[in-house]
A = this chain, B = another copy of it.
Amino acid sequence: MEKAFSKNLINIEPYVAGEQPRSADIIKLNANENPYPPSPEVHKAIAAFNADGLRLYPPMDAAPLRQAAADFYGLDRSCVFAGNGSDDVLAAAFRAFFNSDKPILYPDITYSFYPVWCELLKIPFRTIPVDEGFNVNVEDYYTDNGGVVLPNPNAPTTIGLGRDRIEELIKHNRESVVIIDEAYADFSGVSCVPLIKKYDNLVVTQTFSKSRALAGMRVAIALADPYLISYLDAVKDSYNSYPMDAVSICAGTAAMRDREYFEATCGKIVATRQRVTKRLRELGFILPDSSANFLFATHPDHTAREIFSYLRENGIYVRYFSKPRIDNHLRITVGTDEQMDKLLELLEKLINK
């Protein structure tokens, strides 16, 4: 549609919203959401929230949330930044830390928003191929660069690296900022947060959307040396003074403070994951040991696309990517035991047909 003002519009494909199934009959294993609700403390905090206070702007620095995260990890509050979900925090980090003419590095198979922010912020980048088993080899990152971003565990491959491996990567990149995106780390038992005291070029990002079951709330944090945190604050403040709303701060704080519930639900998801992994392998699926709350599986006798359509027809939504290297894999979120039993039942029928 050509308009007089069309020449001034951004060159972008107008967005067509995808389906977001909300039917209670559908088992939704396609967005890596938590099958368990957030902590009961979140419920209490929201129900008790004093809406009258909403007439005022929220605290600019989301102080209660930062303090809760600092307490959780035994850090000073000055080591914590907070934002509206990982996308917000990572975008701020890219802007703050990736200002080199040299390319930043990240895996060829990884979170799909990294190239988007590079394009938006005009950051040069180079992707490093994962190996045939989808493993990240940190030695591949011992090369001149403008920064490194690496999810650990990686997505959608589910494969995590030990903290010693990440430490090697950081040691070999002391002239860049290294961002470790720990969106799924709470399901792996491995976090690089303890390394931030040792390496002032490390930034660890964590989302509350997965392990803390707050996808609907948009909460995430970054943990780093206070020097780097001050840059994130400066960036955030430079284009939006009040990015986190008061209820998000309140809900995020409650979620962070309920360690017991957090550990219990993560534990349940990990147990379900181990059981389902074993059973899928018995059914002939090939999949790496997952360090996340989802599985990355392929089958020698059935294409991923075929299994995707079959499950969908039967009311289970999983994720399929028609992308190079991974277009014969499915990403399957770990749901409740009951949900996964339905999945396994359907897959057994298909495989044994």
In Å, the complex CA distance between A13 and B96 comes to 11
Cβ-defined contact, A214 with B54, below 8 A: yes
Q: How far is the CB of A248 from chain B (nearest CB, A)?
A: 6
Taking CB atoms, residues of chain B closer than 8 Å to A61 are: 17
Cβ-defined contact, A177 with B5, below 8 A: yes
Size bin of chain A's contact surface: 35 or more
A323 contacts B by Cβ under 8 Å: no
Cβ-defined contact, B42 with A51, below 8 A: yes
In Å, the complex CA distance between A295 and B40 comes to 45
The answer, among B36, B88, B116, B233, for a CB contact under 8 Å with A15, is: B233
For A54, the closest partner residue in chain B by CB is: B216
A97 contacts B by Cβ under 8 Å: yes
A8 contacts B by Cβ under 8 Å: yes
In Å, the complex CA distance between A17 and B244 comes to 15
Cβ-defined contact, A5 with B175, below 8 A: yes
Cβ-defined contact, A55 with B84, below 8 A: no
The answer, among B18, B46, B234, for a CB contact under 8 Å with A46, is: B46
A350 contacts B by Cβ under 8 Å: no
In Å, the complex CA distance between A245 and B216 comes to 6
A247 contacts B by Cβ under 8 Å: yes
CB contact list, A47-95 vs B, under 8 A: 47, 49, 51-61, 84-85, 87-88, 91, 95
CB contact list, A206-263 vs B, under 8 A: 209, 213-218, 227, 230-231, 233-248, 251
A322 contacts B by Cβ under 8 Å: no
A156 contacts B by Cβ under 8 Å: no
Cβ-defined contact, B247 with A248, below 8 A: yes
Cβ-defined contact, B55 with A96, below 8 A: no
Cβ-defined contact, B20 with A117, below 8 A: no
Cβ-defined contact, A58 with B12, below 8 A: no
A146 contacts B by Cβ under 8 Å: yes
A43 contacts B by Cβ under 8 Å: yes
Q: How far is the CB of A77 from chain B (nearest CB, A)?
A: 12
Question: Could you list some 11 contacts between A and B, CB below 8 A?
Answer: A3-B201, A8-B177, A10-B96, A10-B234, A12-B231, A54-B217, A57-B209, A216-B247, A217-B246, A218-B242, A245-B247
The 7 closest A-B pairs by CB, nearest first: A54-B216, A216-B246, A37-B52, A14-B230, A43-B51, A55-B213, A15-B234
